[in-house]
Structure 1
Amino acid sequence: MRFSRPAVAGVVGVAAFVFGACLAASLALAQEVEPPAPWVKLTGSHAGAVGTCSIDEPTDNEACYMVRCDAKNGLIFEIGDAAVGEMGLRSARFEIGRYKETIRLDGNSPDRRMIVLSKHPKLLAALTSGADFATMYAVEADVKYSTGYELTGARDQISRMARGCPTKP
């Protein structure tokens, strides 16, 4: 049985499309990507911080990635998400442009994890580098988890926060 070239090309094209769709769906399930949200001054339960949240008006149940001034530690990066305690998140791998590092997180509450930025100046430099996007992967957690969040406006917001924040003694 012989097949014409257009018929073979059509079958190959359909197979490639189906494979691509399956691959895209599996990648979408494996990584949560927050909707675009530039860095701003946060309000509500996150008042006093600058960052980005998964919605415009964050609640305690929404994921937020933020920087705040802590009287004891200076600038801190904080992950605020009701799921971090449930996931057992203890370490995270950050990828921002060329910066790639796994960092142990401090747990200051069941729904928040933090990093003292004076101990991780490369993370602070990456957050304020002008990169558009950051990716974070859970390490040593009860579940596999990764997320991405926007860094648009992070440089200006974090710089303003840093000017008014005393450094750790």
Structure 2
Amino acid sequence: MKFGRPAVAGVVGVAACVFGACLAASPALTQEVEPPAPWVKLTGSHAGAVGTCSAIDATENEACYMVRCDAKNGLIFEIGDVTVGDMGLRSARFEIGRYKETIRLDGNSPDRRTIVLSKHPKLLAALTSGADFANMFSVKADVEYSTGFELTGARDQIPRVAKGCPTKP
């Protein structure tokens, strides 16, 4: 079977329209992004802490990244997520602007891991640097894990908690 130029041009034209329609529709196919969750004073089981959670009300099933005052250790950064124990998360790499560091996490709780900020002043400085976003990656965990969390408002909220928290040596 032999095709003339008009037939080939018609097929190319239809293909271009279909491809063009796909390109035009591609924004509708992109993954939906959660709305920003700036740092706020937390309530419920996280009362007394400031941080960002997957939703403002911070129920038990949400991932939260927060700073709170601990009577024994002073100011701490805490990862609260029901899956951290299942993942075997013991160390994490943080990237906030130019700050990049791998830190061993404390805590044997199945849903919480902590970092004593007096031992990691550069992390505290990065959290309050005014950066918009932080990235965190698991290191040598049972499950490979990476996430990002917002830092909007952290510069204002963290010093409020620090002001009332005794400094530990």
TM (norm. structure 2) is 0.81
Match of 1:159 in 2: 159
Which is greater in Rg? Answer: 2
Mapping of 1:3-152 within 5 angstroms? 14=19, 35-152=35-152
- SS in structure 2 of the partner of residue 156 of structure 1: helix
TM-score for both structures, normalised by structure 1: 0.81
Decide whether aligned partners of structure 1 residues 108 and 68 sit closer, same or farther in structure 2, where only a CA change above 3 A counts: farther
The CA distance in 2 between the partners of 1:48 and 1:108, in whole Å, is 21
CA distance in 2, matches of 1:56, 1:35: 11
Q: How far has the Cα of 1:140 moved from its partner?
A: 1.3
How far apart, CA to CA, are the structure 2 residues paired with 1:93 and 1:136? Answer: 6
CA-to-partner distance for each residue in 1:15-60, whole Å, 9 max, x for gaps?
Answer: xx88xx7xx98xx7xxxx7641010110001111000000121111
Distance 1:42 1:148 in 2: 19
Contact 1:80/1:112 (CA < 8 Å) preserved in 2?
Answer: yes
Q: Which amino acid aligns with 2:73?
A: N
Number of residue equivalences: 154
> Distance in 2 between the 1:168 and 1:125 partners?
17
Q: Which has the higher contact order (CA 8 A, sep 6+)?
A: 1
In the TM superposition, what is the alpha-carbon distance from 1:90 to its structure 2 partner?
A: 0.5
Measure how far apart 1:144 and its partner are.
Answer: 1.1
The percent identity for this pair of structures is 79
Give the distance between the partners of 1:56 and 1:161, measured in 2 at CA. 18
In structure 2, the CA distance between the partners of 1:108 and 1:157, relative to structure 1 (3 Å rule), is farther
Contact kept in structure 2, 1:89 and 1:142, CA below 8 Å: yes
Note if contact 1:106-1:114 (Cα within 8 Å) is conserved in structure 2: yes
- The CA deviation at 1:72 is 1.3
CA distance in 1, matches of 2:61, 2:150: 19
Unaligned 5+ runs, structure 1:
none
Structure 2 unaligned regions, length at least 5: none
2: distance between equivalents of 1:104 and 1:143?
16
Cα distance, 1:144–1:106 mapped onto 2, change above 3 Å: same
Q: Structure 1 CA distance, aligned partners of 2:34 and 2:153?
A: 16
